[in-house]
C-alpha cells in the first residue's frame, strides 16, 4: 500500500497545484481577498502531499521493496543504507520527484515567511510557482512514475550505478536541485511583477534572499560535484567542461548576474527590465539543464539514459515556460519606469559591466555546449567542443570581470571617482605585482608558466582589494568591534564571497600551471619522484572485501623531508551491477595534493599507476566553501528577515 499511497499523494498534489495556479491568480486580478488567501494553504498542502510521496518512495528503498520497478532497477539488498537512501534520487524518476519536492518547498517557504509581502503579489508569485509544479507533476505522472509495480517481484534488485555510490554523490544532487529549483522563485517573482506591471526597490528586497539562497545551494552543489569527479574518476582533474557540468554552470553564471543586478534595483531603482530578464533566463537555463540530462541526447557520467518521449515533454515545457515568459516580458517590460540615472563610472556602471560579462560568459558556454548537438541535428557532421574552446573564450571574459570586482565596491553610487579609487588601490596593485613575480620565480622563472603569474596576480588583486574595502568600512581603530557588529551582514558576506572567488582563482591557476603527472607501469618496490615526494609501491592486496564490492588495494609510501605518508588507492569491482570503479588516494597539505591511482596489472608483473601532484588544488574547494559562507552571512542580514521597509511595503499594498 505504500507505493499506492505515494502515487495517490502525487495525484492529489497535482489537483492542489492546479487550484493554486488558478484561484489566487483570479483573486489578485479581481482583488478578492478570499481567493488570494487560498494561495497559502494550497502551497503548504502541496508541499505536504509531495513530501508524503517522496517519503513513500524512500521507504520502498529502505525496506528493499522489489515489487516497485524503480527500486528493482536502482537498488540491491547488499547496498549500505546511505546508498539505499541516496538511490531514491540516483535515477530519473526519483530525481524528478526530488525536483518537485524542492519546488514545493520553496513555495511553502514563501507561504510561511512571506507575511510582509502584499497579498496580491504573494498570490501571483505562488500561482506562478504552482504552474511550474503542474508541469512537472504531469511529467512525473505521465512519463516518469516512480511507483510502477512489477509482478512477480524479483528476489533482488539490479543495484545502483557504482559511480553514484559515494558520499559526495549522495549529497551533490539535493544541493544542486536546491539551486536549480531555487531560481524558480526569482522567476515567479519576475512573472508576478510583469503581471502587476511594477518593479521597485521593495520587490528587489523581497526577491534577493530567495536568489541568494539558490545561489548558495548551487555553488555548493557544483563544488561537491567537482570534488566527487576529482577523487572518484581517478583522472587527477576537477573540471572538464562536460556538457552536464556546463548545464549547472550556466544558471550559476546567470544567477550571479541576477544577484548583483537586483542590488542595483534595490539601491538605485535602476536596471529593472534587465533584472526581470535575468530572472527569466536564469530559470530557463535551469530547465535547459534538466532537458539536457533527461533527454538522453548527451553522453555523460552525470546524465541518465531516458526515453526520448521524456526529453520531448521537458523540451515542450521549456519552450512553454521560456517562450511564454519572454512574450509577457516583451509586452509589459516597456511600461515600467526607467528608474534612477547613473554615470558610466559608478558602482551601478561597474555592476552593469560585470552583468554583461557574466551574461556573455553564460552565452558562450551555452553556445559551446549546444553547437555540437545543433550541427549533428542539421547533418553538418560530428563535432566536439572541449576544454581548449572554453578556456580560450571563457577566460578572457573573466579577467576584466575580476578586475572590476575589486574596483566596484570602492566606487560611489550614481557617480564615482575612478582616479581616486585607483589611488586608494595603488598598494594593492603593487602587492599583486609582487605576488606575480614570486609566483613566476617559484615556477622556475621560465616562459612557460608566465600566464600563471598573471593568474596569481589577479587572485591577489581581488583578495587584497576586498580586504582593503572591508578594513576601510570598519576602520581598524577604537570602536572596531562595534562597527563590525553595526555593519550590515550583507557587506561582510560580499567580502567573504569575493575572497572565496580570489582563493578559487589561485587554486585554478596553481593546479593548472604547476601540475605534475607521471603515468607508468610500476613493479613492487619501485620508487618514482613526484614533485619532491619519493613514492614507492610497497605491495598489492587482492580481493579485499567491501560492503558490495571487492577491491584490489595497493599500498604506497611517500617520503619527503623525513615524513612518511602511507596511501591506499583501490580498484573496486562492484557486483550489482558489475562495474570497476577507481578510488584514488589523496594526501593534502592544503598547499597541494599528492594524488595516487592504481590501475590494471601488467603482463610483466607490474601495475599501471598514475601519480599526480596537484599544486594548490585544495584552494579551489576551500574557496568555494568560503563563497558559500559569504552567501550565508549575507542571507542572515536583518534586512532580509524583515523584508522591505514598511513605507515601501505599505505603498505597494495600496497600489495592489
- Render pLDDT for 38-72 as a digit per residue (tens, 0 to 9): 999 999 999 999 999 999 999 999 999 999 999 99
Contact 189, 210 (CB under 8 A): yes
Q: Which of 9-18, 183-192, 200-209 has the lowest mean pLDDT?
A: 200-209
The single residue listed with the C-alpha cell 587572485 is 459
- What pTM, to 2 d.p., does this model score? 0.92
Q: What is the mean pLDDT of residues 252-275?
A: 92
DSSP reduced 3-state for 235: coil
Contact 131, 100 (CB under 8 A): no
Q: How confident is the model at residue 651 (pLDDT cuts 50, 70, 90)?
A: very low
For the chain, give the longest Cα–Cα distance: 83
Question: Tell me, what DSSP letter sits at residue 439?
Answer: H
For residue 247, is pLDDT > 70?
yes
Q: What is the mean pLDDT of residues 612-630?
A: 96
| Per-residue confidence (pLDDT) for residue 642, from 0 to 100 | 61
Phi, psi of 561 (to 5 degrees): 55, 40
Please report how the helices 450-474 and 426-442 are oriented relative to each other, as an axis angle in degrees rounded to 10.
Answer: 150
The single residue listed with the C-alpha cell 502584499 is 118
Q: What is the mean pLDDT of residues 318-323?
A: 92
Q: What is the mean pLDDT of residues 336-349?
A: 82
Distance in Å from the first CA to the final CA of the chain: 47
Residue partners of 94: CB distance under 8 A and separation at least 6: 57, 70, 74, 87, 88, 146
Query: What's the chain's length in residues?
Result: 656
| Per-residue confidence (pLDDT) for residue 372, from 0 to 100 | 84
For residue 251, is pLDDT > 50?
yes
| Per-residue confidence (pLDDT) for residue 646, from 0 to 100 | 45
Interatomic CA distance for residues 204 and 273, integer angstroms: 12
Please report how the helices 272-294 and 201-232 are oriented relative to each other, as an axis angle in degrees rounded to 10.
Answer: 30
Highest mean pLDDT among 294-298, 356-360, 375-379: 356-360
Q: What is the pLDDT of residues 490-549, one digit of tens each?
A: 999 999 999 999 999 999 999 998 899 999 999 999 999 998 999 999 999 999 998 888
Interatomic CA distance for residues 16 and 49, integer angstroms: 9
Element (H, E) at 598: strand 592-601
Q: How confident is the model at residue 446 (pLDDT cuts 50, 70, 90)?
A: low
Contact 38, 20 (CB under 8 A): yes
Which CA distances in Å does 524 have to 261, 609, 613?
59, 11, 21
Q: How confident is the model at residue 302 (pLDDT cuts 50, 70, 90)?
A: very low
Average pLDDT over the chain, rounded to an integer: 89
Strands 585-588 and 549-560, sheet pairing: unpaired
Regarding predicted confidence, which is higher, 308 or 103? 103
Q: How confident is the model at residue 298 (pLDDT cuts 50, 70, 90)?
A: low
Amino acid at each position: 500500500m505504500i507505493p499506492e499511497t505515494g502515487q495517490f499523494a502525487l495525484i492529489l498534489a497535482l489537483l492542489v497545484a492546479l487550484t493554486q495556479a488558478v484561484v489566487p491568480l483570479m483573486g489578485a486580478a479581481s482583488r478578492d481577498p478570499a481567493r488570494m488567501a487560498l494561495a497559502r494553504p494550497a502551497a503548504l498542502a502541496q508541499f505536504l502531499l509531495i513530501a508524503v510521496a517522496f517519503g513513500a518512495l524512500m521507504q520502498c528503498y529502505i525496506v528493499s521493496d522489489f515489487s516497485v520497478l524503480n527500486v528493482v532497477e536502482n537498488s540491491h539488498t547488499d547496498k549500505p543504507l546511505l546508498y539505499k537512501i541516496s538511490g531514491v534520487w540516483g535515477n530519473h524518476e526519483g530525481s524528478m520527484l526530488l525536483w518537485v519536492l524542492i519546488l514545493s518547498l520553496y513555495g511553502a517557504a514563501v507561504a510561511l515567511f512571506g507575511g510582509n509581502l502584499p497579498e496580491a503579489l504573494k498570490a501571483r508569485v505562488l500561482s506562478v510557482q504552482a504552474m511550474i509544479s503542474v508541469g512537472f507533476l504531469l511529467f512525473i505522472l505521465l512519463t516518469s512514475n516512480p511507483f510502477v509495480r512489477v509482478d512477480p517481484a524479483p528476489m533482488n534488485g539490479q543495484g545502483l550505478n557504482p559511480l553514484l555510490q559515494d558520499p559526495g554523490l549522495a549529497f551533490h544532487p539535493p544541493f544542486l536541485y536546491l539551486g536549480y529549483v531555487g531560481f524558480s522563485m526569482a522567476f515567479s517573482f519576475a512573472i508576478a511583477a510583469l503581471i502587476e506591471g511594477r518593479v521597485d526597490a521593495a520587490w528587489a528586497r523581497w526577491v534577493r534572499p530567495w536568489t541568494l539562497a539558490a545561489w548558495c545551494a548551487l555553488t555548493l552543489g557544483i563544488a561537491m560535484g567537482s570534488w566527487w569527479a576529482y577523487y572518484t574518476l581517478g583522472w587527477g582533474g576537477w573540471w572538464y567542461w562536460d556538457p552536464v557540468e556546463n548545464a549547472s554552470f550556466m544558471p550559476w553564471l546567470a544567477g550571479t548576474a541576477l544577484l548583483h543586478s537586483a542590488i542595483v534595483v534595490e539601491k538605485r531603482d535602476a536596471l529593472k527590465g534587465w533584472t526581470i530578464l535575468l530572472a527569466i533566463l536564469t530559470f530557463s537555463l535551469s530547465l535547459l539543464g534538466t532537458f539536457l540530462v533527461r533527454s538522453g541526447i548527451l553522453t555523460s557520467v552525470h546524465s541518465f539514459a531516458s526515453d526520448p518521449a521524456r526529453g520531448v515533454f521537458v523540451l515542450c515545457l521549456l519552450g512553454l515556460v521560456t517562450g511564454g515568459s519572454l512574450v509577457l516580458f516583451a509586452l509589459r517590460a516597456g511600461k515600467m519606469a526607467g528608474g534612477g540615472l547613473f554615470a558610466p563610472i559608478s558602482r551601478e556602471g561597474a555592476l552593469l559591466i560585470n552583468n554583461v560579462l557574466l551574461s556573455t560568459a553564460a552565452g558562450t558556454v551555452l553556445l559551446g555546449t549546444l553547437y555540437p548537438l545543433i550541427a549533428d541535428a542539421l547533418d553538418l557532421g560530428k563535432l566536439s567542443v572541449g576544454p581548449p574552446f572554453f578556456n580560450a573564450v571563457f577566460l578572457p571574459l573573466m579577467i576584466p570581470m575580476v578586475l572590476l570586482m575589486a574596483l566596484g565596491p570602492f566606487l560611489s553610487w550614481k557617480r564615482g571617482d575612478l582616479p581616486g579609487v585607483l589611488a586608494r588601490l595603488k598598494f594593492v596593485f603593487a602587492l599583486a605585482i609582487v605576488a606575480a613575480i614570486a609566483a613566476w620565480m617559484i615556477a622556475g622563472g621560465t616562459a612557460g608558466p608566465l600566464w600563471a603569474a598573471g593568474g596569481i596576480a589577479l587572485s591577489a588583486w581581488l583578495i587584497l582589494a576586498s580586504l582593503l574595502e572591508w578594513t576601510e568600512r570598519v576602520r581598524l581603530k577604537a570602536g572596531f568591534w562595534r562597527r563590525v557588529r553595526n555593519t550590515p551582514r550583507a557587506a561582510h558576506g560580499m567580502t567573504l564571497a569575493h575572497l572565496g572567488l580570489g582563493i578559487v582563482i589561485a587554486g585554478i591557476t596553481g593546479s593548472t600551471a604547476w601540475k605534475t603527472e607521471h603515468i607508468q607501469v610500476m613493479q613492487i618496490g619501485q620508487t618514482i619522484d613526484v614533485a619532491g615526494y619519493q613514492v614507492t609501491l610497497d605491495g598489492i592486496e587482492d580481493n579485499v572485501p567491501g560492503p558490495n564490492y571487492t577491491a584490489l588495494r595497493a599500498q604506497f609510501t611517500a617520503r619527503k623531508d623525513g615524513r612518511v605518508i602511507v596511501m591506499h588507492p583501490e580498484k573496486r569491482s562492484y557486483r550489482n551491477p558489475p562495474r570497476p570503479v577507481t578510488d584514488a588516494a589523496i594526501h593534502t597539505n592544503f598547499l597541494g595534493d599528492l594524488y595516487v591511482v592504481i590501475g590494471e596489472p601488467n603482463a610483466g608483473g607490474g601495475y599501471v599507476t598514475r601519480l599526480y601532484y596537484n599544486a594548490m588544488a585544495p584552494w579551489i574547494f576551500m574557496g568555494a566553501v568560503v563563497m558559500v559562507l559569504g552567501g550565508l552571512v549575507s542571507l542572515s542580514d536583518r534586512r532580509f528577515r524583515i523584508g522591505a521597509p514598511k513605507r515601501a511595503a505599505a505603498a505597494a499594498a495600496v497600489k495592489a
